[in-house]
Structure formats: C-alpha cells, structure tokens
Structure 1
Amino acid sequence: MQYDGKVYEKAGNPKKGDIAVFNENNSFFQGQWSEVLAIDAAGDPVLCAAHHLHWYARHLDYYRQVTEKLAPKPGRYIIFTDKDDKPMDTRVGKRYKIIWDGKYCDDVGDYLDAEHVAKFFPYEIVEHEEPKQTSESTETIEHDGTEYRRVHRKAKPGDVVVFTETADADITEGIPYEVEDVDSDGDVHFLDDKDEGNVGISREEFDIYGKVAEESAEQDEVKSITVRHKDGTITRLQDVESIELAQ
C-alpha cells in the first residue's frame, strides 16, 4: 500500500509509525486505518483519539514503510518478523546465520536456501551479530534473548564464548558462540560460522560468559560446614569459601 507518497508492506507485530488497518476482528471500524502512535506495556498499539486510543493487537493488520533491505548473503543473519507467517521450525526474532552456500540452519537442523525462503515470508537481514550490551559495562551481553555475564572460571556447556583474537577464518571476533562441550584439556567445542564443529584452543583469546540466572543462583547458594569439637560442642560455619587446615 502507499501512504503520503511512501510504500508500505505488511508487517508482523506493531511498531510505532506503522499504518494500522482494522481487520475482520473489529466489524465497527473494519477497513479504517490509523497511524500507530505508540506501543503500550502489553505490546498493543495506541491509535488516535478518533479510534478510541487502545486496541488489542489482533484487531488490526500492520503495514510498515519499506526501506532498502540487505540481500540474504553468506555471513549475514536472516530474522523472521511475523509469528503468524514464518517458516516451520523457526522462531520470530531469532537470528539465523546464512552460511557460505547461502543456506541457514533452522531449529531442527534442516538447511534451507535463505534467498528462496525470503520470497515468501516477512523478514529482515542484518549484518554480523554484535554482542548486545545490557548495561554500561561490557561485563554483560545478550544472545538469543538470554542475558549473559562475563565469568572468570573455566567454560562449561551452555556458556557462550566471545573471541577477541583468532586466526581462524571460520570464527568472527566479537560475536557469541554457544559452548556445546568442553574436553579434558579444557578446550571449548562450538559451531563456527559454517555451522561446523570447531574448537577454541589456548593460543586463541576469548571471554567466557555464563547465563545470568544460573550465575546468580550459584552465588545465592549458602555453603555451610558443621564442625564437631572434641569437647562435644558443635559449630556451624556459613558462607564458607575455603578451608585451611593447620598442623
């Protein structure tokens, strides 16, 4: 559709600035349109006063101004934007890496041609994924909707690693890779930019990030030790970090 000399295409969830058209879920205003002025805390659109301001999102269809999209090329990410109109076995908002042959891997391990799929579903293409800072500190990043905090311990499965220096052409410095396994040498195993198994070894430099929820739970766990003395008295020590035995 066109509005004010600009081209709009159908979109998924509403955003400020979209054109909203009432659909069959609202017979009173059906076919009428309004600009989305804001999005409320529930994710529903706020319209003009003539259309009674607040409406449930399902009562309208949304159209967004068309901007020039990046091509679905290897090294970029494809993101599907409409929960009701997306390929099977994908999640709305998740970044799917387009690998060297122009394909991406969905959530069940099938490889699909990104350029072909993009012809049929609403999507966005973004450049390589930068860790999203959730505070002023670089100690915290966000990856696939989960918050991670940098940790100073050995990596474990479920962590993510962010390489700061590597000579491996299949690893991009600055983006998170999820740790799938850690071997007996302490090397981390993960899927690289080609979705192939790779290993982070000691001569490469990377930071380790653990899930904030899990790290917080571990810190909150109270560690206590019960000591039975020779005279029969008992002492319970709490919040113990370490014990030194003297001879």
Structure 2
Amino acid sequence: MKFLELMKKKGLVAAHRGARSIAPENTLSALKKSIGKCDFIEIDVQLSKDRTVIVMHDNTLQRTTNIAEIDSFRDKKPYRVCDFMFEELCMLDYGSWFYKYKNHKEPLLTLKRALEFIKENSLFINIEIKDMSNCFEDRIVIETIAKEIEEAGVQERVLISSFRHEYLIIVKEKLPNVPSAALVEGRDPDNLLEYLKSLKVDAYHIDNALVDKTKVKMLRETGFFVGVYTVNNPQLAKELFEIGVNYIFSDCLNKKLKVI
C-alpha cells in the first residue's frame, strides 16, 4: 500500500512525535511503542551543522536533552541544533528528561535510522521538516532529506509536511511521487484552495482551532486530504471524523480515538 492509498481510509490516527505520552518524543523508543496503536507515525527533522538529518522538534536542545548539564557546551547557548556537529549531538541524552527516575537514557535518532525502522516494520511515516531557513538554504535542506528518503527506498511510505511552504515546492520537484502537506497555524492563507494548488500539495494540516465543517467539505471536494493536530480527546476526534477529517495527530494513542 502507498501512503496516498492509506490516506483515503477513514478515521486515521497519527502518532504525534511517536508515542510521546509514554516515551521521550522523537526517539526510537517512541516509534517502537507506537506500533499497533496508530495508522502512521509523525516525526520532526532538521539538520546538524554538518548536515546530518536528525529527528528533533525544537530548534534548541535544552527541553529534550541534558545539554545544560554539560559544562563544555555552556558557551554554545542558546543551544541551537544547527550550531552543533553530529558527533556533538551524539554525546547527549535524549531520554532522561522524560522519566521520573533519571536512568532511562536515549540516544539521538537520525532520519536514516527512523526510515530503516519504518522499512523493517512495514510502517508509514509523516516527516515534518522544521523551518531551518535561518541556518541553511532551502534547496540544501530538501536535497539532503530527499537523498536519504531515496537511499532508504521508502518513497511510497512517506508523507512530507512543513510550516515553511517554500520547502514543499522543492519537495515536489525532488520527490514528485511523495505526497506532501502544508502545515498552518493561526489563520488560513488567503485564497486557500488556489494557494494549496500552487504548492502542489496533497493535504492540509491544521490546528483544531481552525477546523469547521464547511472548510473541511470544501477541501475534501476539491481533492485535498485534511489532517488535524493535536487531538487527544476522544469526543473531539469523533466530531472531527464525522465532518470528514481524514486523520488526526495525537499524543495519546487511545483506542477510543478510532471511534467514528
């Protein structure tokens, strides 16, 4: 099955940053624990200073690593991901911050390893590309990520999304057979349908505050898939599926979210 075929099914649930309610987000442990509890996994990626694609949500390292405890890195505040070499990032612990007892360390997850995992387990993955325009040229970002997807041979199992819509135009050029989605928050772009067509995207991912029945109907009738983030309430999930939303992104992988 291809990702586009999966998206046509009803009531899909995506594991937001993996199973992040029970494991440190965007780690291999989070991906492993999401198996059997979702229809596809969502992760965030960005580049290290030497252009290794790593799995990380924040553009700084302080929230989800132990970097503040390492004296040798204190002169690198505010700890931007793009200021660190891959070798330096591998020195950090990506798990102890999450657990009550600080003895559950987690290694850095790379996109390469995440794609290997998806392939090994016949899973699907949504790769959200974080905005790195303050560190790298757009084309460098997309070419680096596209190369890893191609080398892994998982084009049919990937959906690419981003809040930086300039990326999506290059994605369609480099990976024409990989579906893409425009992420937005706060407000819809003007002339929404024409705007999405200009990006050549397949889907529109929106905050649940922007959802209404008329908009979803319009998008679906025009051929766009609709994904909504972040939905942790079963009743809200039910309501969204009832008005035609294709899939939701959730931190809490609860069977009740599947009720439609």
**Same fold by TM-score, threshold 0.5 exceeded?**
no
Q: Which has the higher strand share?
A: 1
Tell me which of the two structures has the higher relative contact order, counting C-alpha pairs closer than 8 angstroms and 6 or more residues apart: 2
Q: TM-score, normalised by structure 1?
A: 0.26
Q: TM-score, normalised by structure 2?
A: 0.25
Larger Rg: 1
